[in-house]
Amino acid sequence: MVYNLRMKRSPGLRRKKKKTKTRLAFVTVILGLGLFAAFLLHFDAEVVKKFEGQRWKLPSKIYSAPLPLYPGLHIEEAHLIPRLKRLAYRRVNRPVRSRGEYYFTGEELELYLHEFSYPNNTEPGTPFRISLTDEGRIDRILDLSLVLEQAGLQLEPEIIGGFYESEWEERRLLRLSEIPQSLIDAVLVMEDRKFYDHPGIDIKGIARASWVNLRAGRIVQGGSTLTQQLVKNFYLDSKKTWTRKGREALLALLLERHYEKDEILEAYFNEIYLGQNGIMGIYGIGQAAWFYFEKAPKELTLGESALLAGIIRSPNVFSPLKDVHKSIRRRNLVLESLFSEGKIGLKDYLQAREETVSSKEIKQRLNAAPYFIDEIRRQLSKKYPPRVLNSGGLRIFTTLDVELQRSAEESLRDGLARLEREHPRLKRFEPDAGLQGALVAIDPKTGAVRALVGGRDYQKSQFNRVTDARRQPGSLFKPIVYLTAFDQAAKGGIPYTPISLIDDAPITLLVGGKEWSPENYDKQYLGPLTLRAALEGSRNTATVRLSQEVGLDEIVKMAKKVGIESELKSLPSLALGSLEVTPLEMGAVYSTLANGGLRHRPKFVSGIVDPSGLPIEREDDGSDLANRVVSAEASYLVTHMMKGVIENGTGRAVRRLGFDRPAAGKTGTTSGLRDAWFAGYTPDLVSVVWVGFDQNQGGGFSGSSAAIPIWTQFMKAASTGELRDFEVPSGVLIKPVDQNGTVCGNGGTDEAFIAGTEPTKNCEKGFIKWIKRFFF
């Protein structure tokens, strides 16, 4: 018998299962709605957080020092006209009328300064007339707005670099009220004519673009509103996918739900990408107006506004820097659209079409001083976190002179190449083994670092030899020994003078239980010498003997006071520069000497301003005040003797190579001929040059043959003001003395003495002496 085991389902069971499915569907819908709500809330919060927080990562811009213009300055030697071009000044063939113009006749220069905000003040944009001498030097400066003669003016600084994250987005943030209506109309007619009517998306536009994209099988047309363009740049990546387009539309709706149309439009005008200037991306209408036309947006003509509006769709295609003809055709299309929409009249339309378009590119010399900028970052990193430095929009004002920097780089490069050319044995083919050098220039009156070259080629080696290379200075240290002696004299100690005698003879000292016997460079000994002759001739044994007299501990104290911060030990070899120091430290030492015993610490930053214009750091905060560390009289005596180094001693090559200004300096060469130095200065500028190998190999060169040519080439280019000699302090007497140290008016050589230490013996006798005493 076969039984049918299939049982009929009861109606109750079927209803129960139906209810279960209904409940499951309901729960699924509820969960889906919940997830969608959470999704919406997440995106809604993201929209608000970004829009109300820090919208843009603003790079910190680094500025050079401004260029002071004053009577006596040679405008060609100061490279004034090229600097005006780099700063986007426009040359006109008539007297200046608006900011950013200059008019040059050869006899006069009219200059209408840009508006510029400094840490301490704001330059409103003032017109000046600068009269020139026949030699091309500034004679008079007249403020045309006040019709008053001025002692000087300053030309705004250049951007030399910046700190940023992945890319440099350069912006000048604007309020919507600062943008002319013609530019707003031009952008809206080209990018989103229904901007003030739609809720963030344009349904018809999306439908049209979707049909085109479906037929193409990929996304080829956007249909995006202006709000969607802002969302794409603000919140999303640049990938063209259906998912991203959906998120873009949703975020656009949410953005318009929270914010007014004008707020969105203002953000859009500050966000849009409008071209490239080297590594610097041009973002926003404010920066674009300056980049393409050197104007503020409110100063743009109708044609210029139309050109900017036309660039938005594709800056790399329609930029006048890429293709002037395409740019003009695109501008004219914008003008036609404005005319057809009734935004402009026929007269304005025709006039705007006739405007000329220039393809001239504005060039910024970014990263003009990479070693200098690295040191700026190192110093500021101790004060500010990376987020502030890289995206906080700081304006960092520095002490760098761009023209001196160019000259320093060129001088070092030429000098090292010359050495390798004249001495092929110095040539190395390994990337890290080549001949190297460093140069630093400092204003002794302020401590401002005016130029810094930390190596031969930054691309090959980022090691900064000015700030980080610790090398023996050799004879470059000797002036500190003589300074210590003269400072003791100024304080009433042993009355050392430049004509005091010291024995240049073999000397043996016990150091750590071992005998140490220094030798002179030429292995010869000259017997009793004046201190001047010992320093001019860089006599080792005489200097060591003097150091023993004045005391090694006192020399260490003096070295610390005048600028050396490295650890020093009171060893006899200290007098010959056996310690290790950086070129920057030696620059500080010689700056103190040049400044008459007043010490400034080397300064790189002169001020910092935040994005709102509030000064964070500035020069007048008292941090750059000079300290009197040694008497003016002792400093001057050393300077006067080092003038003799250049005239008669180991620095004679300075004169032979054509530098004829009053200057003082000292050569330095270390044992094994490993390091070649020259440090020298005028009253206005100190520069130190080092040449050697990073591996501390002997180069077979001296400070005179290797460093002086580099120093001289740089200083000849750097010295542009009127001739000035070193000022004699009131406590110093200049007396003509003969080779015996006797005051002698006829045939004597001028020598400097601290008052009270001058010689009293006079070479004049008899009747002539009586006549002078009686009548004079």
Pairing mode of beta strands 168-170, 280-283 = parallel
Structure token pair of residue 478: 């000797």
Q: Quick check: helix, strand or coil at residue 34?
A: helix
Which residues have C-beta within 8 Å of that of residue 740, sequence separation ≥ 6?
Answer: none
Residue at token pair 């300074």: 483
Cα separations in angstroms, 162 against 28, 312, 372, 407: 54, 25, 12, 22
Q: Which of 411, 475, 704, 705 is catalytic?
A: 475
191 is catalytic: yes
Q: Which of 178, 191, 336, 355 is catalytic?
A: 191
Distance CA 559, CA 477 (A): 9
Contact status, residue 344 vs residue 303, Cβ threshold 8 Å:
no
Residue at token pair 């295609």: 317
Which residues have C-beta within 8 Å of that of residue 164, sequence separation ≥ 6?
Answer: 57, 59, 60, 390, 391
DSSP class of residue 138 equals E
Question: Where does residue 698 fall: left (phi above 0), alpha (psi -120 to 50 degrees), or beta otherwise?
Answer: beta
Structure token pair of residue 599: 């010490």
Q: Is 326 exposed, middle or buried (0-12, 13-18, 19+ CB in 10 A)?
A: middle
DSSP class of residue 493 equals S
Length of the chain (residues): 776
Phi/psi of residue 539, each to 5°? -80, 120
Q: Quick check: helix, strand or coil at residue 475?
A: helix
Instruction: Using the Cα atoms of residue 379, residue 385, residue 386 and residue 392 in order, give the sign of their dihedral.
Output: negative
Contact status, residue 271 vs residue 232, Cβ threshold 8 Å:
no
What pairs with residue 127 in β-bridges?
Answer: 112
475 is catalytic: yes
Contact status, residue 624 vs residue 603, Cβ threshold 8 Å:
yes
DSSP class of residue 728 equals P
* Cβ neighbour number for residue 409 with a 10 Å cutoff: 21
* Cβ neighbour number for residue 85 with a 10 Å cutoff: 15
Contact status, residue 400 vs residue 451, Cβ threshold 8 Å:
yes
Distance CA 519, CA 508 (A): 10
**Radius of gyration of the chain from its Cα atoms, rounded to whole angstroms:** 36
Structure token pair of residue 313: 């769709």
DSSP class of residue 157 equals P
Sheet strands (E) in 549-685: 598-599, 605-609, 615-618, 627-628, 664-669, 675-681
Crossing angle for the helix pair 302-311 and 346-353, nearest 10 degrees?
A: 70
Structure token pair of residue 632: 């003016």
Residue at token pair 């691309």: 459
* Cβ neighbour number for residue 30 with a 10 Å cutoff: 10
Question: Where does residue 17 fall: left (phi above 0), alpha (psi -120 to 50 degrees), or beta otherwise?
Answer: alpha
What pairs with residue 61 in β-bridges?
Answer: 162, 395
Question: Where does residue 563 fall: left (phi above 0), alpha (psi -120 to 50 degrees), or beta otherwise?
Answer: left
Distance CA 287, CA 279 (A): 15
Structure token pair of residue 757: 């230490």
SS (H, E, C) 658-708: CCCCCCEEEEEECHHHCEEEEEEECCCCEEEEEEEECCCCCCCCCHHHHHH
Task: Give catalytic residues, as residue numbers.
Answer: 191, 475
